[in-house]
A and B are shown apart, each in its own frame.
Chain A
Amino acid sequence: MKRVGVRERSVFINVPFDSEYEPLYLAQIAGLIGLGFLPRCVLEIPSAGKAIRLDRILQCIRACKYSLHDLSRCGVDPKSRCARFNMPFELGLAVAAQSVDRDHKWVLFESKSFRLQKSLSDLNGFDPHIHRGTPVGVLHALRNAFQRDRGRPNLDDLRALLRVVNGMARDLKARSRSKSLYDASSFRELVRAASLVADRRYRPMWSRGRGPRP
């Protein structure tokens, strides 16, 4: 059997880091781990050094065969009254990365149908996966985007893993006495913990064709 490299299974996730988006962020982590992928994220990159930071974002995107760009929250932030350019900017970097690494594939997520045609008409002809702003919608969209066959894990399997990841995220916040999960350590710890649970508790059941424990 051909051994697949780390890059082939890595997905760069480009999402907004705000508290409202957190349930969807956790769904991205759980869904990708459940489907056998490694989520990578800009949070892994230290914030020191401005020019170096851009290089490292590009490096991180190029270290992944896939990148996932959620453009559902590019509007004006009510607190700062500023538009959020990070997600479209990183999508631009991914499109540029594709011109260098031909095998890089970028995937678009949106919460509403047909909105992208108005907000980013340059991408007309590329259909985003619509998640309707719900964690289950994100899991469904991830299966559509990344699952090559229609077998296990199914949507219920991924929901079971997401419930576990949500519990661990609450635990992690309580341990670190932090309100946010958007930092490098929390990201790595959650990804690692989710992968351990998937390996120990769920994957053996999925491979035998049985459902997860309720």
Chain B
Amino acid sequence: MTAKEIAKALRMKPSEMRVAEALVERLLAGPRSPRKKKARAASASIKSA
């Protein structure tokens, strides 16, 4: 089932939809701590080299 079908089936409130969206946005934005950001950038540069 797609995310759209799931939201419809669960009869989600708009506030719950916003929380779920925020969780996903934060996840896709990547790590927030400078140390983790640095580690990810370093790993990306190794892969591209």
Contact = CB atoms under 8 A, between A and B. Distances in A.
A10 B9 CA distance: 9
A191 B1 contact: no
Given A44-B10, A168-B23, A197-B24, A192 B16 contact: yes
Contacts of B12: 188, 192
A192 B17 contact: yes
Interface string A153-193: 00000000000100110011001000000000100111111
28 contacts: A6-B1, A6-B5, A9-B1, A10-B9, A33-B6, A38-B6, A38-B10, A164-B27, A167-B27, A168-B23, A168-B27, A171-B23, A189-B16, A189-B19, A189-B20, A190-B20, A192-B7, A192-B12, A192-B16, A192-B17, A192-B20, A193-B23, A193-B24, A195-B6, A195-B7, A196-B3, A196-B24, A200-B28
